[in-house]
Amino acid sequence: MKNSVFAAKNWLGAAVMFAALLIGNMAWAQSPLAKAALAFTYTFSSSDGTNASAVTYVPGPNVYITCIAGNSNYPLEVFNREGKTISTAGAGIDLRGIWYNPATNSLEGNCAGEEGWFSTPLNAQGIPSGDWSLIRQGQLQPDFQSVMSYITPKKKLVTITADNSFSFWGRKNGKEKVCFQHGTPGDTDWYFNPYSAAYTGNDAFPLAVLELNGEQILYFSLKGQYLGATKIDGGLPEMDGFRFSFANRNAFVYDESARTWSAYRVF
């Protein structure tokens, strides 16, 4: 009798765990919202630089890291989900994209042109705590200004080219894996924010770009198929490049005049 009760409890526990996983996976794969919902904002502590280019999320300490492109002295800042600055310092290298590598608990990034990819360790608070180490040198990206994003499950980096194709690069070997032209549904007047394509973390709608004419985020499959859109309610700040990123399921849009990232819930 005891064995039967024990087996029943185990079965019930397994069923509850399976249901929780199923619900979690369904929530993770939610469809995009028609209109983005503002989650929080973050304003840079430093006054240096103009073009904020990327945001990444570090899950352990539950913090975000952001950078401004254009100069090695421009800021690299850490902040929390309340928009409070945790750390600010000069980046030390001329960053474009940044991403968190959970395998090494490090911040990685790509620099302008032929400078290459770099890595720096993070401490327990998610703050960069050491010198940058070169991962691989060379223009391992389509354009001088390309902002790379990390597709963690695939161990690839993704960006967008000057002709609006998605370009994928192997994190381990630095080689371009494949390049897909985006799909266009009918007669559209799309104008993509150049240099930046983001990995959303939602495998049903994995790639995102900021479309300026329609003031919206567009979603694509990993093969460039158009999947849907989210409108930015209230419109976009003026921009012609950079200033768009994704982290922790939030879309980030940067206002240069206010020096502020707006984080939007889009799923």
Are 140 and 116 in contact, with CB atoms under 8 Å apart?
Answer: yes
- DSSP annotation of 80 reads -
| Residue that the structure tokens 């395998």 belong to | 103
Q: Long-range contact list for 207-213, CB < 8 A, 24+ apart?
A: 207/158, 207/166, 208/246, 208/251, 209/160, 209/182, 209/244, 210/236, 210/243, 210/244, 210/253, 212/236, 212/239, 213/189
Q: Is the dihedral of CA 214, 219, 221, 227 positive or negative?
A: negative
Of 136, 96, 135, the residue nearest 112 (C-alpha): 96
pTM of the model: 0.88
Are 60 and 266 in contact, with CB atoms under 8 Å apart?
Answer: no
Question: What's the pLDDT tens digit per position in 102-159?
Answer: 999 999 999 999 999 999 999 999 999 999 999 999 999 999 999 999 998 889 999 9
Question: What's the pLDDT tens digit per position in 184-215?
Answer: 777 688 999 999 999 999 999 999 999 999 99
